[in-house]
Amino acid sequence: MNQMPLDFRDDKNGRGRRNESYASRHRLFFALCPSEAIEQQAAAIADDYRRAFSLSGRPRLTTLHVSIIWVGDYPKLPEDVVFAARQAGATVESAPIAMTFDRIMRFPQARALVLCGEGGRKPLTRVHVQLGVGMHNAGLRHNISRDFTPHMTLLYDRKTVPPTSLDTPVSRTASEFLLIHSVLGKTEHRIIDRWPLLG
């Protein structure tokens, strides 16, 4: 799942589909979450760019994450979907993932200022595919993306910001991944389940 400000409606099977309306209020997705030290580093980067480019968007520091794969958006969170997503999460086999974000850029369609980089992309892509296959086997849409781009969204803003390499990359090793319930419009994330990355 790319961190795009799109909402989704249920398909006839209640499995969630992409739609630009805002009827759906509950999002379910798998993600990595940063440590407190990474949050502070990201906050400093966001503040620097807000000042440098006169951005009005507010940093998303309470909900920073690296999306792995989107499950769906729903008017109400279906218990059967949560159960199936948990089944998919339990199928993942991966060692801890060392990630490095060494660039900052804008995703134009999403109007998002993001951190990104190649460090950790391959193992995280493998987890993305494993979860997609697990979701399919559990009866959900697989949502595997050929354009999967690991990133961390700092803020949303209409202004264009040129891509830049960071003097000090943002690096961490992820030792677990999470299933997250996002209450859309409230900037609120609820952790439903978590799994260690043990190798």
Question: How is residue 103 written in tokens?
Answer: 């660039």
Say if residue 185's pLDDT is above 90: no
pLDDT for residue 115:
96
What's the average model confidence in pLDDT over 97-116? Answer: 93
Query: In 10 A of CB 94, how many CB atoms?
Result: 17
Q: pTM, whole model, 2 decimals?
A: 0.86
With a cut of 60, say whether residue 5 has pLDDT above it: no
Instruction: Please identify which residue in the block is written with the tokens 């859309």.
Output: 184
Q: Specify the pLDDT at position 23.
A: 61
What average pLDDT is seen over the chain? 87
- Higher pLDDT, residue 22 or 156: 156
Q: How confident is the model at residue 59 (pLDDT cuts 50, 70, 90)?
A: confident
Average pLDDT over residues 75-95: 97
Contact of 3 with 110, CB cutoff 8 Å: yes
Query: What was the pLDDT predicted at 16?
Result: 45
Q: What is the pLDDT at residue 62?
A: 80
Task: Supply the pLDDT for residue 24.
Answer: 66
What is the percentage of the chain residues whose pLDDT exceeds 70? 88
21 CB-contact burial (10 Å; exposed 0-12 / middle 13-18 / buried 19+): exposed
User: 34-56, pLDDT tens digit by residue?
Assistant: 999 999 999 999 999 999 999 99
Q: DSSP character for 95?
A: -
pLDDT at 120: 94
